[in-house]
Structure 1
Amino acid sequence: MATTTVATAAPASAGKPWYKILYVQVLIAIVLGALVGAFWPSLATNEWIKALGDGFIKLIKMVIAPIIFCTVVSGIAHIQDAKKVGRIGFKALVYFEVVSTFALVLGLLVGNLVRPGAGFGNAAANAQAVAGYAKQAEAQKSVDFVLHIIPDTVVGAFAQGEILQVLLFSVLFGFALMGLGERGHTIRSFIDDAAHAVFGVISIVMRAAPIGAFGAMAFTIGKFGTGAILNLMGLIATFYLTAALFVFVVLGFIARTAGFSIFKFLAYIKDELLIVLGTSSSESALPSLMEKLERLGCSKSVVGLVVPTGYSFNLDGTNIYMTLATLFIAQALGFDLSFGQQLTILIVAMLTSKGASGITGAGFITLAATLAVVDPRLVPGMAIVLGIDKFMSECRALTNLCGNGVACVIVAWWEGELDRDKLNANLARQIDPTDLETALTTD
């Protein structure tokens, strides 16, 4: 397994021209995209501008399945004790459920205190606009979700990019490879080398991140307009503030318990945060996040199991969104939800959020599933938030990314698989976290 030599010099990025730093390029691209969308909306909504953002996300999605397969298989195959895999998975799921509950409760508390939907005018719902999401939500039953984890064919799981299906096969393949012992050495070495090659592809693709962020932001502003969110600014502001409260207070307390600063951690993954901000999808930053977490000192086995699992089971931003949006719709339509109904929101949202991935709009689909169970009369009210969902998807994805990154470090610390020297050196910015090639060439 490749390791990274910890430098003691000043940050490597300090000697790099500012215009060559990835997060600076992405930030400039987001600003330029917003300006183009605001002042030249006809240009911004051109299909070729939209294709810039869509194309970048497709490039990332192209390598997600191979990255997860190689990382999970390699992580499990190098573990001598099969019980350790189950122990890591159990700890991860316990952590996910506890923190997700905090996110849901926080959303309910803020929604009841602020009441952003109270006094909302013109709450007539557009049933046709919501019909597509509601139809997708009907299929999100617990039994269907569990059965969907099992792929019809292994090739189909990879071809369709079904993360949980790929994860299931990867875990099984990893255990099988572990059972081969020394006979599996050649295959293990091949998969390790393949993982380095795929991360090399990621380092190439990431250079196009500014272009993708520009296209996605320009199209969003050009299509929806800067004034499209004014009437619902209260809900957006409440959601962003609640998410910030969760990240800095809840995750900050958890991080401090493990001995690191949430602020330094966010600075370490700032490239990924800006990419998510531009593309509205945590999926676009998943591969590079896994690479950075391993370089941060988390063991390969923990990264390979926790991050892909958290991608579907630890969506803190989506949880906050569902509780706040449900309360907002109920308040806007004049429904007073009882304590029992709000408790139902907690239980149902805990289940429906498990089917939401990092793809833009998935949170809206799970919202439909939650509303249908809490009170079917609330479903048409989804049209109220349909127009601003795009502006809240960025915050959902950002919070999800932060939550999964912290979860990986916590589980690694809990399992005793966290390299403190690497953690401190990276968070102190003694090495350049944007230089992915360095990790690929150091042994």
Structure 2
Amino acid sequence: MTGTSPSGISTSTTATRRFGIFGQLWFQVLAGTVIGIVLGLIAPHIAVSMKPLGDAFINLIRMMIGPIIFVTVVHGVAGMNDMRSVGRVALKSLIYFEVITILALIVGLIGVDLWQPGAGMNIDASTIDTASIKSYVSTAHSESVSGYLMSIIPKTFASSFTDGHVLQVLFISVLFGIALAAGGQRSKPVVDVIESASQALFRIIGYIMYFAPLGAFGAIAFTIGQFGAASLLSLGELILEFFVVCAAFTAVVFGAVAWWCGVSLWRLLGYIWDEIVIVAATTSTETVLPRVIQKMRALGCEESVVGFVVPAGYSFNLDGTCLYLTTVAVFLAQATNTHLTFWHELGLIAVLLITSKGAAGVAGAAFVVLAATLSTTGAIPVASIALILGIHRILAEGLTFVNLVGNALATIVIAKWEGKLDERVLAEAVGTKGLRARLGIA
């Protein structure tokens, strides 16, 4: 099983020496996933009852996200000598996030237009049973841009933690860090306490990861048991098209960005392999947020950059979600024979630039955003989203993978852009041959 190093970074070195591949976290999670799939296929009623295992693991991680973000951001900001750099990091992050998400929306749109997985289905939207999507539609209607912006400000200091809103925690953490930095030496005792608390919290994350295989087993067993293999086959072309688009976006767009940073994309994927497997099994990037923070710091990115970019990226840098939204929206138009002109699709992208940020922190966020988008544009029948309810979790495996890789890469980009990246550490871990040669690393 996994353990925790003195720096707080979860490691499986001892377990690997003792048990070989069986002691590695990714293998344990993969084994739990395979067992869950088998159970879902042969005993779906039992598999559905395994859902609490997946939910419990996700809730354990969510319990730690607020405190982890708080101590990481506060300690990083408080250690900055120049408070203007906080604003620069924020501005550069938002610019980068918007550029990449626009690219994701365009790539998703081009992919589904060329492949046309929904063509020929000839679905009559008026005959679709919408009972299963009422909760998503009602949530979508309750969201608005102004409401979303106001929700960033918590009602109380403590409510930001209890409500589980990442941006609220980030907001008060930055304010608290700035206040400590302004206090100078008088704030040092508080900063020291926060640093000690940070080590303890990451150690708790290491303990929680022991349960990752069980969480993966429960989550995937429920998915297969609840929806079955039949729903996957009936909408198999959409699943295939979406996964191909996700792979192409990762290889081309992320590959180009990684090359600019001197990072080998394949080595980076290997570096976060444990997190990729966990995300694929649980279809939730929240389950690895604390570990991503740890690993990006260990990769040579300065703590102040990691502390802002990673949490902010979970709301603003949803590249995989953008791929999903354009792909599924146009697929539903194709399936219901709804004609979309070039201007309709351009308007869809414009709306998604706003709505893709509008349901962060809401359960089933991508599905809620999809409902909100269709309601806003009015061109595609909202009822049609019931068609993909059964395969949403399967599609989520692709989108969460892209979101994870995108946020890890974004952290490296912003750290390099700000001059707060230890290139030697980066080169030794995930650097390209060119960067390693320039730094004299074999």
Structure-1 residue corresponding to 2:114: 113
**Correspondence for 1:439:** none
Q: Say which SS state the counterpart of residue 260 (structure 1) adopts.
A: coil
- 8 Å Cα contact 1:281/1:359 also seen in 2: no
CA distance in 2, matches of 1:27, 1:99: 30
Equivalent position amino acid for 1:35 in 2: V
1:118 counterpart SS class: coil
Q: Is contact 1:154-1:169 (8 Å) kept? A: yes
Cα deviation, residue 427, structure 1:
2.6
> Which residue does 2:60 correspond to in 1?
59
Q: Paired residue for 1:205?
A: 208
The one-letter code sitting in structure 2 at the alignment partner of 1:298 is C
- Aligned position for 1:39: 42
Aligned counterparts, 1:287-366, within 5 A: 287-357=290-360, 361-366=364-369
**1:277 match:** 280
Once the two structures are superposed, residues 7-55 of structure 1 have per-residue CA deviations (whole angstroms, 9 ceiling, x without a partner) of: xxxx988745211111111111111111111111121112xx1111110
Q: Equivalent of 1:175, from 178, 190, 194?
A: 178
Letter in 2 for 1:105: I
* Counterpart contact for 2:77–2:174, Cα < 8 Å: yes
2:184 aligned counterpart, secondary structure: helix
Aligned to 1:227: 230
1:391 aligned to 2:391?
no
Tell me, yes or no, if the aligned pair for 2:16 and 2:22 is still in contact at 8 Å: no
Take 1:243 and 1:182, find their aligned partners in 2: how far apart are those partners?
49
Name the residue aligned to 2:382. Answer: 379
Report which structure shows greater RCO (CA 8 Å, sep ≥6). Answer: 1
* Match of residue 420 from structure 1: 423
Q: Which amino acid aligns with 1:60?
A: I
Out of 247, 255, 260, the residue aligned to residue 257 of structure 1 is 260
Q: Give distance in 2, aligned partners of 1:131 and 1:59.
A: 28
Hey, what's the Cα distance between the residues in 1 that align with 2:35 and 2:55? 17
Specify which of 122, 133, 138 is matched with residue 136 of structure 2. 133
Deviation per CA, 1:81-129, whole angstroms, max 9, x where unpaired? 0000101111111100000010000011111111111111444422222
Query: Matched residues in 2 for 1:420 and 1:12: separation?
Result: 28
Match of 2:245 among 242, 245, 254: 242
Counting only pairs closer than 5 Å after superposition, residues 155-170 of structure 1 correspond to structure 2 as: 155-170=158-173
Runs of 4+ more than 4 Å apart? 11-14
Q: Give me the whole-angstrom Cα distance separating, in 1, the residues matched to 2:100 and 2:14.
A: 35
SS at match of 1:225: helix
Instruction: Give the structure 2 partner of residue 85 of structure 1.
Output: 86
Match in the other structure for 1:411: 414
Q: What is the CA distance between 1:377 and its match in structure 2?
A: 4.7
AA aligned opposite 1:365: V
Counterpart code for 1:96: F
- Look up the match of 1:154: 157
Structure 1 residues 138 and 165: CA distance shift in structure 2, 3 A: same
**For residues 310-336 of structure 1, what are the alpha-carbon distances to aligned partners after superposition, in whole Å with 9 as ceiling and x for unaligned?**
010000011011101110111111111
> Are positions 1:97 and 2:103 aligned together?
no
User: Structure 1 residue 421: deviation in Å?
Assistant: 1.8
Match of 2:302, as an amino acid? S
Which amino acid is the alignment partner of residue 62 of structure 2?
A: K
Report the 3-state secondary structure (helix = DSSP H, G, I; strand = E; otherwise coil) of the residue aligned with 2:235: helix
Cα distance between partner residues in 2 of 1:409 and 1:128: 44
CA distance in 2, matches of 1:290, 1:360: 22
Equivalence for 2:69: 68
Change (3 A) 1:320 1:236: same
Residue 65 of structure 1, CA deviation:
0.1
CA shift, 1:278, in A, is 0.9
Q: Gaps spanning 5+ residues in structure 1: where?
A: 5-10, 429-443
- Other structure's SS at 1:293 match: helix
Distance in structure 2 (CA, Å) of the matches to 1:416 and 1:3: 27
Counterpart Cα distance in 2 of 1:358 and 1:245: 27
Matching of residue 184 in structure 1 with residue 187 in structure 2: yes
Amino acid at match of 1:163: V
Between the aligned partners of 2:264 and 2:108, the Cα distance in structure 1 is 24
Question: Alpha-carbon deviation of 1:245?
Answer: 0.7
Amino acid at match of 1:408: T
1:355–1:54 distance in 2 versus 1, CA, 3 Å: same
1:377/1:21 Cα in 2 relative to 1: closer, same or farther (>3 Å)?
A: closer
SS in structure 2 at match of 1:219: helix
**Higher alpha-carbon deviation: 83-92 or 380-389:** 380-389
Q: Which amino acid aligns with 2:161?
A: F
Q: Distance in 2 between matches of 1:410 and 1:256?
A: 11
Which deviates more from structure 2 when the two are superposed, residues 316-325 or residues 378-387?
378-387
Q: Partner residue of 1:436?
A: none
Q: 1:417 to 1:3 in 2, by over 3 A?
A: farther
Identity of matched residues, %: 42
Output one character per residue of 1:362-420: Cα deviation in whole Å (capped at 9) or x when no partner: 10000011111222552111111112112111211111111101000111111111112
* Contact 1:134–1:369 (8 Å) recurs in 2: yes
How many residue pairs are counted as aligned between the two chains? 420
The alignment's C-alpha RMSD in Å is 1.8
Distance across 2 between alignment mates of 1:351 and 1:122: 29
Maintained 8 Å contact 1:125/1:382: no
Query: Residue 277 and residue 166 in structure 1: after superposition, are their counterparts in 2 closer, same or farther (change >3 A)?
Result: same
Most deviating of 114-123 and 159-168: 114-123
Specify the alignment match of 1:440 in structure 2: none
Q: CA deviation at 1:200?
A: 0.3
Instruction: State the Cα deviation string for residues 139-163 of structure 1 (Å, max 9, x = none).
Output: 2211000001111111111112111
Note the C-alpha offset of 1:360: 5.7
Q: Is the 8 A contact 1:240 1:395 kept in 2?
A: yes
